[in-house]
Structure formats: structure tokens, C-alpha cells
Structure 1
Amino acid sequence: MTIERARVPLSRWQQAAVAMGSAVGVLVNPRRADLIAALGETTGKPAFEMVLERMKKSPEGRAILLERPRVVSEQVGHAWDLPENTFGAAYAKFMGSRNFSPDDRPPVRFMETDELAYVATRSREVHDLWHTLFSLPTNLIGESALKVIEFEQMYLPMCMLSVIGGTVRFNEKQRGMFLRHYLPWAVRAGRQCTDFMCVCTMSVTLVKTWSK
């Protein structure tokens, strides 16, 4: 599937300015998905290039790069009709209970090539699939734990910045719980599990039997 994007070419100085402005904006308002996306793109090019090369070395990754599956309503809408014991049904329940849409992710704007744009797009679109897979809630602790897993999988600086920003906003009890339990678990999970960027997200994945 074609990645629709309005590419915005930036010089290095412009990238630095966008990254800095986005970082400040995210600290002020952590719910600004557009700023999070801009921060991820302007700071994450080396990480996305590494993920791209890793995908090219994997048979599954090469197939994904060739077919470019998307996690959008057109492609995963059937998940809402799947049996209860499937991963797709668990994903649909996760999305429906929060009134989320697979189409809500902002488009990629600052990647230089179509391949990198697809990798960046995919990294965003699988986020809610990973929430479902790891049974992590969308509260501050759950999002921070998932960002640790994402960092261990992709080494995106934005993920680590999000974790640091999250721990700053924790109260004392939340911080202790995160540091003692969630952080070490998320590090192990991210390092030991398979390369999720090389796992297909089309119907064959969504209908697999799901057990927590």
C-alpha cells in the first residue's frame, strides 16, 4: 500500500529547530501526537535506517517492505468481526474501549525516502498492536513501559525521551512501582522477544488464537 505523505525537506539546522521545538511542546502538552511524531522523525533517522537494514536481512522483513501492509481501518477492520479468542478481537476490544481509530496516526513528513517513510509509519501503526500484545494500559505507567520496549526494539531517541518525561510526571508511588517492576520487565521484554517490526500485521496475524 502506498504511503501518502507530504514530504517537507529540512536542512540540518531546520531539523534541529523542529526537534527542539517539538521537544519543548511535548513537555508542555504530552498528548500532542503531531509534536511527538515530529520529534520522532527529526531525531530518529539513524534508528529508522538501522531498522530498515534489519528488515532487509529478514525474509519476513523483506516481504513486509515489498508488500507494505498498513494498520489502518481498510486493512484491519475485519478484526471487529473475529472470534473472541483471537488476537484481532483483543486488538478490536482495546481500540473500541478507548474509542481509538487505526487511522488517527499523523502522517510522516520528514523522512527522506519512501522506504524510511514506510518504516516510520509502521513504527507508529504497530503501537496499539503492541499495547494489546503486552496488555499494557494507556495510562502514564503503561505508555512509559511500552516506550521502553519500543526503545529496546528500535533505539529511537524519542522513546527514551518519552520515558524520562513520563518519570518526571510520576508521583512518588508511581515512580517507585515503575522503577522496581515495569522498567526491568520492559527492558527484558524488548530485548528477548522477536523483532516485532518484522512480524506481519495483516489478517493472518490478527486471526491467530489469543491467550494472555
Structure 2
Amino acid sequence: MLGVGAVALGSAVGALLDPRRADLIAALGETTGRPFFQRVLERMKNSPEGRAILLERPRVISANVGHAWDLPENTFGAAYARFMGSRNFSPDDRPPVRFMESEELAYVAMRAREVHDFWHTLFGLPTNLIGESALKVIEFEQMHLPMCMLSVVGGTARFNEKQRSLFFQHYFPWATRAGLRCTDLISVYYERHFNEDLEDVRKRWGIIPAPVPPKPNRV
């Protein structure tokens, strides 16, 4: 227990100092989120798609999602492929889960980590500091993981004055509302919906796309 606590504390400090450290954020999420992942697991068991995910345990890796690059451009899968390709991201880059006491909880934590880019795609959020902080607000509303709010604190501490004003006036209230309004996103079997129209799945899942940043006033 002491070892896990030390990892949690060290990860928290490191993540606050550098929110870009995915390994530290992952370790923080695991060591502080066990009871919350347990609740997520129970929600998945109460959902038909969630139960299918737990039974089949799909992984978001190149071998399983590569066909998204060949789908029609209006589809959710193609939008995900554009998001990943435009940033030169690979779905294989997620760090492994190390601090979960059961294989089932380890999978839930891995699934939450791997669907992150699906959520970026659905909500239309960029991967800059504002976009990542806004998505962490949505993730907190969905899963109540302490790590998510700690990441928001760490991210917003690095904002300049303009970014801080933009985030708290436009993105934070939107993200809070969007995270509460949409369906239980962790229980969605996204890979089964790759070939469906992006706007159709957004409507079905109650997704409110990110607001368009206001244009600066001209002097």
C-alpha cells in the first residue's frame, strides 16, 4: 500500500509539473482511481455493449483499427483516422496498465485510456493544452477519476492569461455540460460503429461538439 501511495504522490507531482508525461498521468490514474474504475466496471456490466466489450476485450491497436483509413469520409471511423493521421499519432503508443489488482479492472483502465482519441474525434477537440484540459473535464464527468481533475489543474496552471480566459469562459462550461449530457461513453463499442455517419452517432450518443473559439476583437 505504501508503495502504491508513493507512486501516486510521485506521479501527481510529476504530472502537475509536466502534463505532457503520459506515463505519469497513466500511473496517477491507476493508483488513485481503483474504486472509480470498479464503478465503471459495474456500469459496463449493466450495458449490452459494455458487456460485449468486457467479453471480447477489443484493443484499440493498429492491427484492429487500421481499416478505418479505408472507410468513406463521412463515417466515424474515417474521422478518427483523419484525427490520428493529421497528428501522426499511433494507437499503439498507449502505456501499459501496471497498478490494477485484477485482470478485469486492468482491462477497464486500458479501455478508458485507449478510447481517449475516439472522444477527441467525437467532440472535435484539438490536442493542444486547452483541448486536452477540456477533454479531461468530460472524462471526469463520465468516470469521476481524480486524475482527470488533477490533470485539469496541472494544465490550466500552464495557461497564459488569454488561454485561461478562453478556457474558463467557453470550454470549461461547455465540457461540464457535454460530459453530463452524453451517454455512458465508456460502455460504447466504438469499433462496431466505425462505418456509421459521424453526425448520426454524435446525435445518438448525445455528443455536443466543442464550441468554435470566438474571433478576437479588432481594434
- Fold in common (TM above 0.5): yes
Are the aligned partners of 1:144 and 1:166 in contact in 2 as well (CA < 8 Å)? yes
- Identity of matched residues, %: 75
Q: Give yes or no for contact 2:138–2:179 (8 Å, CA) kept in 1.
A: yes
For the 8 Å contact 2:16–2:153, the answer to whether it is kept is no
User: Equivalent of 1:150, from 121, 127, 139?
Assistant: 139
Query: For residues 115 and 154 of structure 2, what CA distance do their matches in structure 1 show?
Result: 22
| CA deviation vs aligned residue, 1:118-140 (integer Å, no higher than 9, x gap) | 10000000000000000000001
Q: Which amino acid aligns with 1:210?
A: L
| 8 Å CA contact 2:16, 2:155 repeated in 1 | no
1:109 aligned to which of 98, 112, 119: 98
Aligned mate of 2:85, from 84, 93, 96:
96
Partner of residue 59, structure 1: 48
**Displacement of 1:173:** 1.3
Offset at 1:30? 2.0
Q: CA deviation at 1:29?
A: 2.4
Q: What corresponds to 1:72 in structure 2?
A: 61
Alignment of 1:1-212 (within 5 A): 12-202=1-191, 204-211=192-199
Which 4+ stretches in 1 moved above 6 angstroms? none
TM-score normalised over the length of structure 2 = 0.89
Partners of 2:83 and 2:47 in 1: CA distance: 29
Shift of 1:86: 0.6
Indicate if the aligned counterparts of 1:55 and 1:61 stay in contact, CA closer than 8 A. Answer: yes
Question: Take 1:158 and 1:69, find their aligned partners in 2: how far apart are those partners?
Answer: 24
Per-residue deviation at 1:24?
Answer: 1.6
Is the CA contact 1:47–1:155 (under 8 Å) kept in the aligned structure 2? yes
Q: Distance in 1 between matches of 2:50 and 2:181?
A: 18
Q: Which runs of 5+ in 1 are unaligned?
A: 1-11
> How far 1:59 sits from its partner (Å)?
1.6
Which digits, 9 at most, give the CA deviation of each residue in 1:62-86, with x for residues without a partner? Answer: 1111111111111100001111111
Q: Aligned partner of 2:197: which letter?
A: T
**Structure 2: gaps of 5 or more residues:** 200-208, 210-219
